[in-house]
C-alpha cells in the first residue's frame, strides 16, 4: 500500500485511534475490548492482526465495528462476552465504552437498592469480592508508623544546613 492510503487517525467504534499502532493493540484500547478479544475478532474476520490500523481499508473497519456490535453473529461463544444473561433482557451481549460504564453503575445502584450484601459493601466503600481487609484496602494514613524521632531530626538539620 502507498503512503497516500495511510491514515494517521482512524475512528473505530466512536473512538479515535493512532494509525501507527498494530490493529490488535489499537482495538484493545477500546473500553470493553481486551487484547485476546481483539485478536480473536480479527482471526474470525480473516484480518491480519499484525497490520497497522492506518492501512486498514474502510471495509475492514466496518467489518470490525459490526463484529464488535454483535460478536455472536461471527461465531463467538457466549462465555467470551462481557455481559451474559442481562438482568433486564436476558440476552447475551458485548458492551463497549459508555454503555459498559452505564450498565455497571446501574448494576451497583440496583444492588444498593435491594440492600444485598454486595450493595452494603459498595455503599461503605469496602472490598466487594471477598478480598482481605485486615491489612489492605485502608484509606488514610499508614498504621503503626510514626513520624519523628532521630531520622526526622537529622533530615531537618540537613535541610537547614542546605538553606544556609
Q: Which CATH number does the domain housing residue 113 bear?
A: 4.10.910.10
Residues 102 and 55 in one domain: no
In terms of Cα–Cα distance, which of 113, 109, 16, 33 is closest to 68? Answer: 33
Interval 120-151: pLDDT, tens = 999 988 898 888 888 887 776 666 666 666 76
Residues 34 and 69 in one domain: yes
Looking from the CA of 18 toward its CB, the CA atoms found within 13 Å total 6
- Residue 143 inside a domain? The answer is no
- Residue 56 inside a domain? The answer is yes
- pLDDT beyond 60 at 7: yes
pTM for this prediction? 0.70
- Residue 86 inside a domain? The answer is no
Interval 8-17: pLDDT, tens = 899 998 889 9
C-beta of residue 74 within 8 angstroms of C-beta of residue 45: yes
Residues 11 and 43 in one domain: yes
Range of the domain at 129: 96-136
Q: How far is the C-alpha of 92 from the C-alpha of 38, rounded, in Å?
A: 18
Mean predicted lDDT score pLDDT of the chain: 86
Residues 59 and 100 in one domain: no
Q: How far is the C-alpha of 156 from the C-alpha of 145, rounded, in Å?
A: 18
pLDDT score for 48: 92
Q: How many domains does the chain have?
A: 2
Residues 60 and 22 in one domain: yes
Interval 18-50: pLDDT, tens = 989 999 999 999 998 999 999 999 999 999 999
Amino acid at each position: 500500500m502507498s503512503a497516500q492510503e495511510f491514515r494517521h487517525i482512524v475512528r473505530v467504534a466512536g473512538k479515535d485511534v493512532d494509525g501507527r499502532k498494530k490493529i490488535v493493540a489499537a482495538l484493545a484500547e477500546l473500553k470493553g475490548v481486551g487484547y485476546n478479544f481483539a485478536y480473536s475478532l480479527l482471526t474470525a474476520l480473516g484480518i491480519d492482526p499484525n497490520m497497522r490500523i492506518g492501512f486498514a481499508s474502510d471495509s475492514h473497519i466496518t467489518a470490525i465495528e459490526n463484529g464488535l456490535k454483535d460478536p455472536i453473529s461471527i461465531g463467538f461463544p457466549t462465555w467470551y462476552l462481557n455481559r451474559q444473561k442481562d438482568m433486564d433482557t436476558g440476552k447475551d451481549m458485548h458492551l463497549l465504552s459508555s454503555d459498559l460504564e452505564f450498565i455497571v453503575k446501574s448494576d451497583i445502584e440496583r444492588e444498593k437498592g435491594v440492600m444485598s450484601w454486595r450493595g452494603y459493601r459498595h455503599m461503605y466503600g469496602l472490598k466487594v469480592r471477598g478480598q482481605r481487609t485486615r491489612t489492605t484496602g485502608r484509606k488514610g494514613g499508614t498504621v503503626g508508623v510514626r513520624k519523628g524521632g532521630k531520622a526526622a531530626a537529622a533530615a531537618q538539620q540537613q535541610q537547614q544546613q542546605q538553606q544556609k
